[in-house]
Amino acid sequence: MKGTVDDIKTVLSRVPLFANLPAEELARLTEIGQYISIGEGQTVFLEDDPGDTAYIILEGRVNILRAGTVDGADVVLASLQPGEVFGELALIDGKPRSASAVALENCEFLIIDRDNFIQMLSRTPRVLGDFMKHQLTRLRDTNAAFFEATEAEGLLETKSAELYEVKQQAVRDRTQLLNAINSVREGFLLVSEERIVGLVNKSMEEMFHPCENQIAEGVGSGECFAWISQMLFPNDANRAAEWLAHQTAKFDLALAGDGNVEPDEVTGPGDRTFWIRHRPMMQGGVVTTITDTTERSRMEARLRQSQRLEALGTLAGGVAHEINTPVQYVADNISFLMEAFDSFVDVSNRSQAIVEGEADPKSLKELRSLLEDDDIEFYRQEAPTALSQSRDGIQQIAKIVQAVKEFSHPGTKEHTDVDIDHLVHNAATVTRNKWKYVAELDVRVEQKNLVVSGHADELSQVLFNLIVNAADAVADVHGESGEGKIEIIADTVPSGVEILVTDNGTGMDDVTRSKIFDQFFTTKPPGKGTGQGLSISHRIVTEKHGGELSCTSSPGHGTTFKLKLPVQT
């Protein structure tokens, strides 16, 4: 112990248990006590050790501990400072230590054995009373601390059990989620903000058959997209590079939080088509989905062709009527021209005989009579008109046949330049028999040489559906009164080309208008509409051409369909 005996006496006099100890007893205590030192972190005694000494802290701090039941963690019952006494209770009841004591730092103690301690108490009844009071106070404090620790221990046990269950549920949820993701047909790539792939489902692997680690967890997203581009364009390095750059740019937008990144459709080997989309995740990162739409695309192509043929079937009678009218007057004109030709041949033959000197006076008289006949003059005057009418009729027939041919033609897989003026007028020609009895059709193409990149056959189908719907809406209101109007206006806009199809027909309320692009939705009676036309038209415009098809309408005020197409699609 550093310091003098007086220093120790001073420390002991400050101990509450010895505050009333006479000076001679205090001096005796310093003489009979044993001085020991214990280093930081060392054990003073353990729980269940024999309790044959009491400890008075002269220097340092001590923790009184009991073993806990949760993960073997100890419960701190008390933290003692210099001048405090511990271990004295065991001197009275003779039982083993009820707790452990550990030095928190280098400590020095004055220890007293059982016999000397009991003799001191017997000589000083007042100190004995202080001892009992001290023990009761410590017992209350210890019990309170123990109960609090026990309650905390129980709460910790409960929380540990809850956390364990939460962890187990999270494991179950993750397993269930992975099973669900692996069961869908779409390919999934979950990519972190650091551009590292965190999850790949089986569909993605089956689509692109990575040889080693081209598409796998822990691989950079750039490596994955590079492999996919090579699989999509195995024989076209330039196109693969262009596609990779395009997808990387879209991925970067999604990684920056842009939730409006447009999806792309791409055609790979064997005419397989894929739908690719990048979406930002709420907690950062991107989910990339790739869907094999080959069967869907083929089915949609068959559906479009079916709807196109259905439309042709609907107009077959009208087209036949449109052709029949010019055919009829061409046939009549040909009959007239044949009669005129016979007369002209007769005159020519008689004139030839006179020129060759073979005609007699009777033949001259007959020729003169024939030339003075009114029929010859009539034929001479009307034949040019008949020829002109026949030419116009044949051109009209050719125009109708060409329009129907272009409308029914399946088209090409690649986009080509589409002349908007030709497209609009062609659609008007094909649908003429549908609108000519119920509406006046006004077609205006405001700019010359309006051209977009796309599929002419599919865009013709869209305009066909819009014009036929307009004619039906006009007929429901105006019949054949001549008051129906349909207007088609094509013009340039900042984002490309815009075509408006407006009618003064029945119009629609908001509920009906919100459903018009739904498949199989129709306002027409059974047998007159299948609900396919506008649904197919919307997909053609938005998915195949990157455009927009929208509608404004109100009951009694007609309808306007707005078709917007980008110049490059």
Domain boundaries, the chain: 5-147, 187-292, 297-410, 413-569
Distance separating alpha carbons of residues 476 and 506, to the nearest angstrom = 7
Asked if 12 and 26 count as a contact pair (C-beta separation under 8 A), the reply is yes
Q: How far is CA 265 from CA 244, 303, 338, in A?
A: 14, 19, 60
Q: What's the confidence (pLDDT) of residue 569?
A: 47
Q: What's the confidence (pLDDT) of residue 485?
A: 93
Closest to 32 in 3D by CA, of 51, 3, 12: 12
CATH annotation of 5-147: 2.60.120.10
Distance separating alpha carbons of residues 264 and 470, to the nearest angstrom = 32
Q: What's the confidence (pLDDT) of residue 361?
A: 67
Q: Regarding beta strands 107-113 and 34-38, do their DSSP bridges make them parallel or antiparallel, or are they unpaired?
A: antiparallel
Q: How far is CA 407 from CA 175, 307, 427, 491, in A?
A: 52, 12, 8, 22
CATH architecture for segment(s) 187-292? 2-Layer Sandwich (3.30)
Q: How far is CA 481 from CA 18, 386, 432, 438, in A?
A: 122, 33, 17, 7
Q: What's the confidence (pLDDT) of residue 10?
A: 73
Q: What's the confidence (pLDDT) of residue 60?
A: 92
Query: Which residue type does 162 have?
Result: E
In 331-419, the DSSP E strands lie at 416-419
Q: Which CATH number fits domain 413-569: 3.55.50.30, 3.30.565.10, 3.90.1300.10, 3.40.50.12780?
A: 3.30.565.10
Crossing angle of the two packed helices 5-13 and 23-32, in degrees rounded to 10: 120
Distance separating alpha carbons of residues 320 and 397, to the nearest angstrom = 10
Location of structure tokens 């897989």: 413
Q: ∠ CA 57-61-62 to the nearest 5 degrees?
A: 85
Q: What's the confidence (pLDDT) of residue 135?
A: 66
Asked if 405 and 319 count as a contact pair (C-beta separation under 8 A), the reply is no
Half-sphere exposure of 99 (CA within 13 A, CB side): 22
Who contacts 50 (Cβ-Cβ below 8 Å, separation ≥6)? Answer: 90, 96, 97
- Max alpha carbon distance in the chain (Å)? 189
Distance separating alpha carbons of residues 336 and 346, to the nearest angstrom = 16
Q: ∠ CA 478-482-484 to the nearest 5 degrees?
A: 50
DSSP state of 518: S
Q: What's the confidence (pLDDT) of residue 488?
A: 94
Query: Which residue type does 478 have?
Result: H
Residues 61-75: tens digit of each pLDDT = 999 988 765 556 778
Token pair for residue 23? 């000076």
Exposure of 145 by Cβ count < 10 A (0-12 exposed, 13-18 middle, 19+ buried)?
middle
Residues of the chain below pLDDT 50:
569
Residues 257-296: tens digit of each pLDDT = 888 888 888 888 877 888 888 888 888 888 888 888 777 7
